[in-house]
Structure 1
Amino acid sequence: MAPVELVAPDPRLHRSWTEVVAEFGGVGATMHGSGWLFESFEDVSLARLERLVEQLRRDGEGLPWTGGVVRCDYLWIVEGDELVGFLALRHSLTDALRRDGGHIGYAVRPSRRGEGIATRALGLALERSAALGLDRVLLTCDDDNEASWRTMLSHGAVLEDVVDGKRRYWIATGR
């Protein structure tokens, strides 16, 4: 088994990306961490992916929908040549991100859940967060998303509160 890595979105993984999109049902709203929260994916052509990757690069320079402008690293979780998930690492927080979203969001493709991929990817994201100078990061998840909050707890997350069905956890980066 290849190690889990975080890489920049890459059109060379087009075949794997189309498989992931199909697993998520082709609906961008279910692909948390992908950066494509408002997309639908009827068109999964290589040309469309190339445009989306370029859009992510631009959006990462300053997310407008977060209640302010926030820099974000959109990353793909890969094992070898297989795309296994998505991760977004936001460099700062707005009020909207403090309520829902936090610094880090992630999603693992349904067929690969339960294998510890999110746990390994979150560990890599915490290392990146420390390198950015963040002492601690906020992560949120739905109250009923036990897999996600258990992933956070495995990295020492401390529950701050549960508001409107959202759990909010802080994790020290070890910086």
Structure 2
Amino acid sequence: MPELSLPTVRVRRSFLDAMAEFRGEGRGDPADTSMIGSELRDFGHRWSSPDGFSTYVDWLRSQVREDSPRPDGHVPSTTLWWVEDDDYLGRLAIRHRLTPGLLEYGGHIGYDVRPSARRRGYATAMLRAALPVARGLGIESALVTCDVTNVASRKVIEANGGVLEDQRGDKWRFWLPTS
């Protein structure tokens, strides 16, 4: 049964396969501002070596700390992977606080399911499992956004109790209780 896990080198082979699937969708190009997109660009060239992948995993885990180096505008975050045995199925990041930009468009929680694992309920289960983690970080109500054209993501958010606040630009903004 899949579960949330801290990033781990144990799933490296499956992770690499998943990133190839995301690249096949066009993810990672300069216009892709998602977590997956930026990490494909910034770290993808290192993942082929076990040491490079281990360094990436350590970097992800370090992002929970306030004093960790991170790009301007980024806040501390907890990254969790959705895994089953040695299979990487997806990822989720919980931002510990919101900047003005995250309040408008990014939210507290972002998630991705690898293309070959979609339509199995993983995103819904992953988000559900993350809400108590967010609560433990002091987030009483989590903002989760999705593109207005992303019907599947909207259903995931609503299935987890998301209440639509409004639309800003091309994003729907939902608030989810964490308890």
Same fold (TM over 0.5): yes
Cα distance per residue 1:128-154 (max 9 Å; x no partner): 112223211000111101111110000
Query: Partners in 2 of 1:168 and 1:57 — Cα distance?
Result: 27
**2:22 pairs with one of 21, 24, 37:** 24
The alignment partner of 2:165 has SS state of strand
Give the structure 2 partner of residue 149 of structure 1. Answer: 154
- Spell out the pairing of 1:88-99 with structure 2 (5 A cutoff): 88-99=93-104
| Segment of structure 1 superposing worse, 121-130 or 18-27 | 18-27
Identity score, percent = 39
Q: Name the aligned partner's letter for residue 131 of structure 1.
A: G
Between the two proteins, the alignment pairs up a number of residues equal to: 171
Amino acid at match of 1:57: R
Structure 2 equivalent of residue 101 of structure 1: 106
Q: Which runs of 5+ in 2 are unaligned?
A: none
* Matched residue SS, 2:39: coil
The alignment yields a C-alpha RMSD, in angstroms, of 2.3
Task: Name the TM-score, length of structure 2 as normaliser.
Answer: 0.85
Q: Deviations over 1:149-172 (max 9, x none)?
A: 110000111111111101111001
Equivalent residue for 1:120, pick from 121, 125, 147: 125
Query: Within 5 A, what are the aligned runs for 1:60-99?
Result: 60-62=64-66, 64-65=70-71, 67=73, 70-99=75-104
TM-score normalised by length of structure 1: 0.87
Classify 1:160/1:170 alpha carbon distance in 2 versus 1 (closer, same or farther; 3 Å). same
8 A contact 2:146–2:153 mirrored in 1: yes
**Are 1:44 and 2:50 matched, yes or no?**
no
Structure 1 residue ranges without an equivalent (≥5): none
Q: 1: CA distance between counterparts of 2:47 and 2:75?
A: 28
CA offsets, 1:10-65, max 9 Å, x none?
11211111111111117446694557264362443222211211221233324744
Shift of 1:72: 0.6
